[in-house]
Structure 1
Amino acid sequence: MSLPTLRGYLKLLRPTQWLKNLMIFFPPFLGGTFFLAVIRPTALIPFVSFCLASSATYILNDLLDMEHDRNHPEKRLRPLPSGRISPLSARALALILAGAAIALAWKVSLSFLSFLLLYGAVSSAYSIRLKEYALVDIFCISAGFLLRLEAGGAAFGVTISEWLFLSVFLLAVFLSTGKRLSEKNRLGVSAANHRKVLATYPEGFLDGTMFMTGGAVLVTYTLYVISRHSSLLLYTVPLCCFGLLRYILRVQSGKGGDPTESLLRDMPLFIVGLVWAVMVGWGIYVP
């Protein structure tokens, strides 16, 4: 197998998107049991399982979007639209990844497996049909974040608090809306040729939804940190506010709204995220 082909298969897996699966570690991290959880020999199995499952769903989505992606200025360079990887090879790889993900999830627990299967079902339904319906597409993407969170709770035996659930849900809707708005703005009049649902969102709707959910995230996150009774965690609220506003600025400036790419490519966002993690960790684990 040639090096370009290997790179094509690696790109097909979208490894940068695996960053989203770190959400699995949020419950033990925020619950104060992170170090007890990660020293277990099987600690990485839930993460690896979701990485394999998510890559399988990305391949399915690419297979179904192949023709539309050829009309996109950037996505036309992906392995399937460009012809570097054949559809038959992609299907075989997706089946292997899905089977491996289920096998690993079975070793974790039945409850974790149920969340993984539900994630696969929602993601597949989104790729096949649900992405064509306004709002439903955003809520399907958001469900992916919530299922990762709940799966992490199931894998490490941590109960998800109400405020954390609401914060993650609203943050997921905020980021999903920003991604759609970015696509709509960047593609302009040809947006519907790539993604039909973009034509169904009236002018200003996505902007308003992003602003509304961004404000709601700030409120629910503030209530979450207050419920933790930690003065240091309270000081992470300004960081949260800056991160939300920075993401909005990025989307409105036409720099892209993909959450993972925004975090990795936008240095202020990356620094804020790193400082947030350090402050939260210090507030929870240092007496």
Structure 2
Amino acid sequence: MTTSDLTASGSARTSPRMIAGFSDYLRIARFDHMTKNVFILPGIALALLLRGNATTEGPLDILWNVVIGFVAAVGVASANYVINEWLDRDFDRFHPEKSQRAAVQRRMFGPLVLLEYLLLLGAGLALASLVNDALFAACLLLAVSGITYNVKPIRTKDRPYLDVLSESINNPIRLLIGWAMVDAGSLPPVSLLLAFWFGGAFLMNSKRLAEYRDIVASDGRETLGLYRRSFRHYSENHLSVANLVHALLCAFFVAIFLIKYRIEYILLFPGIVTLFAVYYALALTPNSVARKPEKLYRARPVILASVATTVLFVFATFADIPALEVLASQHFIETGALHLLPSRP
């Protein structure tokens, strides 16, 4: 198949381009993707548990921070989506689903897209500044992440492996946003930030693995390379090994956090392992929801594993189990007395 054939194939997925309407400009902001902001919730919960006594904020102040902070995060994230869809419009037409996006299907005007981006970004940062400087800085980091991921000459989404790491850094940033809503005077533990980063890398790499398997099977590897340049350097083996690396690094930093800050949280490990296993199985399933992380609420195994892990988290938060302290200290099985045992005849 030649490049011209592929171009024609990509064009065939698009209908005649009509001038975009107001609803099309709303679509590229992807407000339906706000479910990804669920990663803000652990930041709120862990800040309350670990820093609740240190914060000077009252319950009503924290509630205000959470409401305004969520709206601010949605605004900045939607601004990132706007430039994502606009700058990817010539590549998305080679993707089976993304070829139906408004920026591909409709004629949009660059100045209007830029205005939408600036309005959403400005509103998000302005709201964040009403809460505290820490939340403003975290939202600003989210905005910078969107620029480095999408905009040339950096455009990390075109670089193999760096594409996953740069996209998944939004996970610890969202953790920071949630933490700042409760305690603006500290940062989350580095082990927790790194665990969220590599956990997010596992999710994003699984998405790419699912896309690779499905699109190569249906349209060929050449089409996949036209959709995203980084895929030209990937193979199924590369993505599978990367998944293993991200999962191991996430588990390593999770273990550090659990042992240092609350040993009872070690009880969460079976739930965390189950979540990783279930999600990886989804990535290996044709046309699975792993390709659309914003739709994960439709994946029953993921929901069940998430609920079970949440129940374990609540239990471990309120249950003190001194016997588990043995896991955080050195113990050896002494064998020196074995020579005192009677020898066999």
Give the TM-score range, shorter chain. 0.7 to 0.9
Counterpart Cα distance in 1 of 2:199 and 2:117: 29
Aligned to 1:126: 149
Aligned to 2:169: 143
1:275 to 308, 322, 329: 308
Aligned to 1:251: 283
After TM superposition, list the pairs within 5 Å mapping 1:12-31 onto structure 2: 12-31=28-47
SS in 1 for 2:63: coil
Deviations 1:234-278 (A, max 9, x none): 332111111101111111123243463452221110121123223
Residue type of the alignment partner of 2:97 = E
Counterpart Cα distance in 2 of 1:216 and 1:39: 33
Aligned to 2:332: none
User: CA RMSD for the aligned pairs?
Assistant: 2.7
> TM-score under structure 2 normalisation?
0.73
Counterpart Cα distance in 1 of 2:245 and 2:156: 23
SS in 2 for 1:44: helix
Aligned to 2:242: 209
Task: Report the alpha carbon displacement of residue 184 of structure 1 after superposing the two structures with TM.
Answer: 1.9
Task: Report the alpha carbon displacement of residue 105 of structure 1 after superposing the two structures with TM.
Answer: 1.4
SS in 2 for 1:268: helix
Moved more, 190-199 or 155-164: 155-164
Is 1:237 paired with 2:253? Answer: no
Task: Report the alpha carbon displacement of residue 202 of structure 1 after superposing the two structures with TM.
Answer: 4.3
Task: Report the alpha carbon displacement of residue 142 of structure 1 after superposing the two structures with TM.
Answer: 1.8
Contact 1:46 1:108 in 2 (8 A): yes
Counterpart Cα distance in 2 of 1:223 and 1:178: 24
Identity %: 23
User: CA 1:42 to 1:219, structure 2 compared with 1: closer, same or farther past 3 Å?
Assistant: closer
Counterpart Cα distance in 1 of 2:319 and 2:25: 43
Aligned to 2:197: 169
Deviations 1:21-45 (A, max 9, x none): 2323323302324994775333211
SS in 2 for 1:43: helix
Moved more, 88-97 or 7-16: 7-16
SS in 2 for 1:236: helix
Aligned to 1:184: 212
Counterpart Cα distance in 2 of 1:39 and 1:286: 25
Contact 1:22 1:47 in 2 (8 A): no
2:68 to 32, 45, 70: 45
SS in 2 for 1:40: helix
SS in 1 for 2:64: coil
Contact 2:99 2:105 in 1 (8 A): yes
Contact 2:68 2:128 in 1 (8 A): yes
Is 1:200 paired with 2:208? Answer: no
Deviations 1:167-214 (A, max 9, x none): 112101211211222222222111111111110224511110101221
User: CA 1:149 to 1:201, structure 2 compared with 1: closer, same or farther past 3 Å?
Assistant: same
User: CA 1:80 to 1:139, structure 2 compared with 1: closer, same or farther past 3 Å?
Assistant: same
Counterpart Cα distance in 2 of 1:8 and 1:278: 41
Which runs of 5 or more residues in structure 1 are unaligned? none
Task: Report the alpha carbon displacement of residue 19 of structure 1 after superposing the two structures with TM.
Answer: 2.1
Task: Report the alpha carbon displacement of residue 151 of structure 1 after superposing the two structures with TM.
Answer: 2.8
1:65 to 88, 94, 118: 88
Contact 1:28 1:37 in 2 (8 A): no
Counterpart Cα distance in 2 of 1:87 and 1:163: 41
SS in 1 for 2:290: coil
User: CA 1:168 to 1:43, structure 2 compared with 1: closer, same or farther past 3 Å?
Assistant: same
Specify the structure having the higher radius of gyration (Cα). 2
SS in 2 for 1:71: coil
Structure with the bigger percentage of helix: 1
1:110 to 133, 136, 152: 133
Counterpart Cα distance in 2 of 1:250 and 1:67: 29
Task: Report the alpha carbon displacement of residue 122 of structure 1 after superposing the two structures with TM.
Answer: 1.9
Contact 1:26 1:149 in 2 (8 A): yes
Moved more, 49-58 or 266-275: 266-275
User: CA 1:237 to 1:262, structure 2 compared with 1: closer, same or farther past 3 Å?
Assistant: farther
Residue type of the alignment partner of 1:120 = A
User: CA 1:261 to 1:154, structure 2 compared with 1: closer, same or farther past 3 Å?
Assistant: closer
User: CA 1:37 to 1:199, structure 2 compared with 1: closer, same or farther past 3 Å?
Assistant: farther
Counterpart Cα distance in 2 of 1:245 and 1:98: 36
